[in-house]
Amino acid sequence: MQEAHGSAADSDIDTRRIVDTARSGSTPSGWFVWPLRRDQVRKMALGWAAASLLGFVLFVPVVLATIPSNFQKSSTLAVFTVLLIVIPGALAFGGLGLVIADLVRLARADQYLLIMTPDDYVKVEPGRTTRVPMRCVSFVTLKGVKRPDEPERLRPGPQVQLSRVVMGDPFRRPRGQPSLAFLDSCNDREVVVSQDNAFDELPVLEHVLLGYAKGE
């Protein structure tokens, strides 16, 4: 599946050209190319595995100690018991789901690519490629991330190693799920760039995207 602008044939050709150039290892000046960072995804998977294990350590004893006895007494106790079970259960099964999702991404790591050029935003995922002209990128929004006091100055160039911006402990996120997104003003739809650091730290991606969207 491919999302792009302009005539379908021309868009397909332009998008393939951009992706092929990005994968060639010889990119024009001003291009940023981010493959999936396997080490970062692996680290997130380990973190969620630990959280899931903690959830199961709490979940199983609570279930064994409260079911069915607590549901045979009073409705108030039953409601309290449900809440007591849901919290560690969400951590256990939710964390497990995120571990599986990260492992799937690791298995398909070569199929992911994030590209930003002065003219285009392109994101390649398994079975899906999204391309948006930079002139259509508006309302860039970064959520759930602590901003650095003094962002590093970034200079576009091929194979640039960007300075990392520390986001802090992933289990102490400031305001909900982290995300970087923007509005595709040509199609009036939201485009999610990333919800984690799999490509790079979100403030770094935001800095580059904002610069190119403003024509800098």
Which one of 20-24, 113-117, 151-155 scores highest in mean pLDDT? 113-117
Read off the pLDDT band of 150 (50, 70, 90): very low
User: Helices (H), strands (E): how many in the chain?
Assistant: 4, 8
Is the model more confident about 126 or about 168?
A: 126
What radius of gyration, in Å, describes the C-alpha atoms of the chain? 21
For the record, the structure tokens of 51 come out as: 């959280």
For the record, the structure tokens of 183 come out as: 């509005």
Q: Residue 187: phi, psi to the nearest 5?
A: -115, -5
Angstrom CA distances, 14 to 10, 21, 164, stand at: 6, 11, 31
* E strands in the chain: 2-3, 32-35, 113-116, 120-125, 128-133, 137-143, 179-184, 189-194
Q: Which class for 110: exposed (0-12), middle (13-18), buried (19 or more C-beta within 10 A)?
A: exposed
Q: Tell me the mean pLDDT in the region 177-191.
A: 93
Q: What share of the chain has pLDDT > 70, as a percent?
A: 81
Quote the pTM value.
0.73
For the record, the structure tokens of 105 come out as: 């991404």
Res. 174: pLDDT tops 60: no
Q: Tell me the mean pLDDT in the region 104-114.
A: 95
Q: Tell me the mean pLDDT in the region 142-167.
A: 49
Alpha-carbon dihedral sign for residues 198, 201, 203, 209? negative
Q: Tell me the mean pLDDT in the region 163-180.
A: 51
